[in-house]
C-alpha cells in the first residue's frame, strides 16, 4: 500500500477522482430531492430517469470503442470540462430564480447521468492501463474508499445545502469541483500504450462486437452479467430512495443526506475490508458474498421500519454494493484483456441501462398505486435470482485470458 501511495500517478488519480465524485454527487443528491418536492415530481422524475437510462444506453454503445481507441486521460479531462461548463451555464440561467425550473432540473440530471456513464468505464480502463496487476486489489480498494468519502461529503453537503442556499450557489460549488478534478487528471503522468487500429464504428457494430466477446468468453462473462444487477439496483435506488424517504418514512432532506453519508461509511469499510478478505478468500466468492448482503438489505426495506432502522440498513447496503464493486473490478481486470475491456464494459453497462429503463418505467406506473415498497419487493426478487446466477456461473468460470493462450 505504501508503495502504491508513493506513486505520483496514484495521488493525482485519487485527488481528481474524489473531486469529480463530489461534483457529480452534490448534483445527483440535490436534484432528485428538488424533483420529488414539486407537483407531480415523482412521475416527472421517473420519466427523466427513464430518459437518462435510454440516452446513456445509446452513448455506451459508442463509448467502449472511444475508450479503446483514444487517450483515456484526455477523455477523463474532457468529461470534467463538460461538467464544469454545463453546470456554470445552468447556474447562470437560474441566477435570479428563487426555485429552479423543472427544465433546469431535468437538464442537470441528464448531464450528471451522462458524465457518470462516461467517467466510470474510462477511469476503469485507464487505471488498468497505467498500473501493474499486483496493484489492482489495493488500488480498487483505495478508489472505493475515496469515492465513498466523496459521496459522504456530497451527501452531507447536498442534504444540508439544498434547503438552505439557492440552487445557483449549489451549482457553483459543483462547478468548482469539476474544475479542480480536471486539473488533477491533467497532472497524471501518462504514456499511452500502443492501441490496435480500432475504428469508430456504428453503434450496432460496437454492440455486435461486445456481444460477440461476451458470447465467445461466456464462461468468463456470465459471472459479470449476473453480478451487474446490484449496480442497476443502485441506479434505480437514485430514483426510489428520495421517494421512499419522503413518502414512506415521511422524513426531510436531511435524512436523505444522512442516508448517503452512512451508505458511504459502509462503503469505506468495504474498501478497507475487501482487500484484506481477498488475501484469504477468492475474488469471485467475495463478489457473491457482497451481492448477497446487498440483496438482503433491499428486501429489508419492504418491512415496516423507522428512520433509524433505515439508516442502519443504509450502512449494510453501502458495504454490500462497494464490496461487490471492489472485488468485481479486480476480477475483471485480472481476467479481461485491456484492449477489449472498454467495449466489454460498455456493452454490459448498455444492457444494464436497458434493464434500468424498463424497471423505472414499471415503477413509475406502480408507485402511485402501491407505493415505493412494492418497487423494492420486485427488486428483492430479482436480486435473489442474481445471487443464484452468480453462484452457478462462478462454478463454470474460466478466465478469458486463459482462453486466449
pLDDT tens digit string along 220-265? Answer: 778 888 888 887 887 787 778 888 888 888 887 778 778 878 888 8
Closest C-alpha among 56, 52, 59 to residue 35: 52
- Average pLDDT in the 186-199 region? 70
> Is the pLDDT reported for residue 165 higher than 90?
no
Long-range contact set of residues 85-89: C-beta below 8 Å, sequence gap at least 24? 86/111, 87/23, 87/27, 87/111, 87/171, 87/172, 87/174, 87/175, 87/178, 88/171, 88/172, 88/175
User: In the predicted model, is pLDDT for residue 374 greater than 80?
Assistant: yes
CATH of 8-193+200-396, one of 1.20.1250.20, 1.10.3720.10, 3.40.640.10, 3.30.1550.10: 1.20.1250.20
Q: Give residue 69's Cα distance to chain centre.
A: 23
Confidence at residue 405, expressed as pLDDT on a 0 to 100 scale: 46
205 pLDDT band, cuts 50/70/90, is low
R_g over Cα of the chain: 20
Rounded to whole angstroms, the Cα distance separating 358 from 344 reads 22
Q: Which pLDDT score, from 0 to 100, does residue 292 have?
A: 92
78 pLDDT band (50/70/90 cuts)? Answer: very high
- Cα–Cα distance, 31 to 243 (Å, whole number): 13
Residue 404 has pLDDT above 80, yes or no: no
C-alpha cell at 245: 424517504
Domain definitions of the chain by residue range: 8-193+200-396
Average pLDDT over residues 364-369: 82
Of 56, 42, 51, 30, the closest CA to residue 157 belongs to 30
Does the model's pTM come out above 0.75? no
Average pLDDT over every residue of 185-213: 68
Give 7-45 pLDDT, tens digit per residue: 888 889 888 888 877 877 777 777 777 777 777 777 787
What is the rounded average pLDDT of the residues 287-307? 90
Nearest to 116 by CA among 352, 297, 277: 352
pLDDT at 316: 92
Average pLDDT over residues 121-143: 81
> Which grid cell sits at 106?
431535468
Split at pLDDT 50, 70, 90, the class of 324 is confident
Amino acid at each position: 500500500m505504501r508503495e502504491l501511495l508513493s506513486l505520483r500517478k496514484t495521488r493525482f488519480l485519487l485527488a481528481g477522482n474524489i473531486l469529480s465524485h463530489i461534483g457529480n454527487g452534490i448534483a445527483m443528491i440535490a436534484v432528485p430531492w428538488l424533483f420529488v418536492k414539486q407537483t407531480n415530481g415523482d412521475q416527472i422524475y421517473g420519466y427523466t430517469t427513464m430518459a437518462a437510462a435510454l440516452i446513456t444506453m445509446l452513448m455506451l454503445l459508442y463509448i467502449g470503442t472511444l475508450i479503446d481507441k483514444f487517450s483515456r486521460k484526455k477523455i477523463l479531462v474532457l468529461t470534467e470540462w463538460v461538467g464544469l461548463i454545463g453546470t456554470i451555464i445552468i447556474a447562470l440561467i437560474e441566477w435570479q430564480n428563487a426555485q429552479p425550473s423543472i427544465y433546469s432540473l431535468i437538464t442537470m440530471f441528464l448531464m450528471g447521468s451522462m458524465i457518470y456513464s462516461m467517467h466510470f468505464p474510462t477511469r476503469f480502463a485507464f487505471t488498468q492501463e497505467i498500473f501493474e496487476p499486483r496493484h489492482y486489489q489495493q488500488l480498487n480498494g483505495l478508489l472505493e474508499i475515496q469515492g465513498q468519502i466523496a459521496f459522504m461529503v456530497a451527501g452531507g453537503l447536498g442534504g444540508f445545502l439544498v434547503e438552505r442556499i439557492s440552487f445557483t450557489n449549489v451549482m457553483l460549488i459543483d462547478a468548482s469541483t469539476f474544475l479542480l478534478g480536471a486539473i488533477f487528471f491533467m497532472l497524471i503522468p501518462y504514456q499511452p500504450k500502443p492501441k490496435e487500429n480500432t475504428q469508430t464504428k456504428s453503434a450496432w457494430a460496437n454492440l455486435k462486437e461486445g456481444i460477440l466477446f461476451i458470447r465467445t468468453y461466456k464462461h468468463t462473462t456470465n459471472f459479470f452479467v449476473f453480478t451487474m444487477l446490484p449496480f442497476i439496483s443502485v441506479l434505480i435506488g437514485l430514483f426510489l430512495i428520495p421517494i421512499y424517504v419522503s413518502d414512506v418514512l415521511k422524513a426531510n432532506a436531511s435524512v436523505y443526506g444522512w442516508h448517503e453519508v452512512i451508505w458511504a461509511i459502509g462503503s469505506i469499510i468495504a474498501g478497507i475490508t475487501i482487500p484484506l478478505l481477498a488475501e484469504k478468500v477468492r475474488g469471485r466468492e467475495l463478489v457473491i458474498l457482497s451481492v448477497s448482503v446487498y440483496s438482503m438489505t433491499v428486501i429489508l426495506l419492504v418491512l415496516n421500519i423507522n428512520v433509524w432502522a433505515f439508516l442502519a440498513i443504509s450502512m449494510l447496503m453501502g458495504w454490500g454494493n462497494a464490496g461487490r464493486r471492489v472485488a468485481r473490478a479486480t476480477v475483471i481486470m485480472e481476467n479481461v484483456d485491456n484492449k477489449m475491456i472498454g467495449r466489454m464494459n460498455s456493452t454490459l453497462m448498455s444492457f444494464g441501462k436497458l434493464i434500468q429503463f424498463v424497471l423505472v418505467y414499471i415503477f413509475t406506473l406502480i408507485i402511485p398505486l402501491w407505493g415505493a415498497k412494492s418497487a423494492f419487493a420486485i427488486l428483492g426478487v430479482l436480486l435473489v435470482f442474481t445471487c443464484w446466477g452468480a453462484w452457478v456461473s462462478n462454478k463454470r468460470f474460466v478466465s478469458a485470458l486463459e482462453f486466449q493462450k
